[in-house]
Structure 1
Amino acid sequence: MATIVAVEYITLDGVFEEPAWSGPYFGEELGTFQWNNLFGADALLLGRVTYEGFSEAWPQMEETTGDFGKRMNSMPKYVATSSRKPLTWNATALSDSGENDVVEAIKKLRAESEGVLLLNGSADLFNMLSSHGLVDEYRFMIFPVVVGRGKKLWAKGVPEQALTLTNSDMTKEGVAVLTYVPAAPAAE
Structure 2
Amino acid sequence: MRKVIASVYVTLDGVMESPAWTAPYFNDEAAAFARSQLFAADALLLGRVTYQGFASAWPSMTDDDGFADRMNAMPKYVATTTLNAPEWNATFLTGDVPAAVTELKQQDGGDLLVYGSGDLVNTLLKHELIDELRLWTHPVIEGAGKRLFTETSPKATLQPIGTTAFSTGAQVHAFAPAAR
What 5-or-longer segments of structure 1 have no aligned partner? none
SS of residue matched to 1:42: strand
SS at match of 2:59: helix
Secondary structure (helix, strand or coil) at the match of 1:159 reads coil
Letter in structure 1 aligned against 2:15 = V
Distance in structure 2 (CA, Å) of the matches to 1:9 and 1:147: 13
3-state secondary structure, aligned to 1:46:
strand
Q: Which amino acid counterpart does residue 30 of structure 2 have in structure 1?
A: L
Q: Which residue of structure 2 aligns with residue 159 of structure 1?
A: 154
Work out whether 1:43 is the aligned partner of 2:43.
yes
**What is the aligned-residue identity percentage?**
46
* Contact 2:5-2:133 within 8 A present in 1 as well: yes
What amino acid is the match of 1:35? R
Alignment pair present for 1:135 and 2:136: no
Deviations 1:28-76 (A, max 9, x none): 11111100010010000001111011011001112x4650000000010
RMSD: 1.2
Q: Counterparts of 1:28-177 in structure 2 under 5 Å?
A: 28-62=28-62, 64=63, 66-95=65-94, 97=95, 101-177=96-172
- Mind listing any 5+ residue stretches in structure 2 that lack a counterpart? none
1:25 aligns with: 25
The number of residues matched between the two structures is 180
Which residue of 1 is the match for residue 6 of structure 2?
6
**Aligned mates of 2:85, 2:4 — CA distance in 1:** 25
1:112 Cα deviation after fit? 2.3
User: Are 1:127 and 1:155, in contact at CA under 8 Å, matched by a contact in 2?
Assistant: no
Cα contact 1:5–1:135 (8 A) shared by 2: yes
Deviation at 1:84, TM superposition (A): 4.1
User: How many angstroms does 1:114 deviate by?
Assistant: 2.4
Distance 1:33 1:66 in 2: 13
Q: TM-score, normalised by structure 2?
A: 0.95
Aligned residue for 2:84, secondary structure, equals coil
1:3, 1:122 → 2: CA distance? Answer: 17
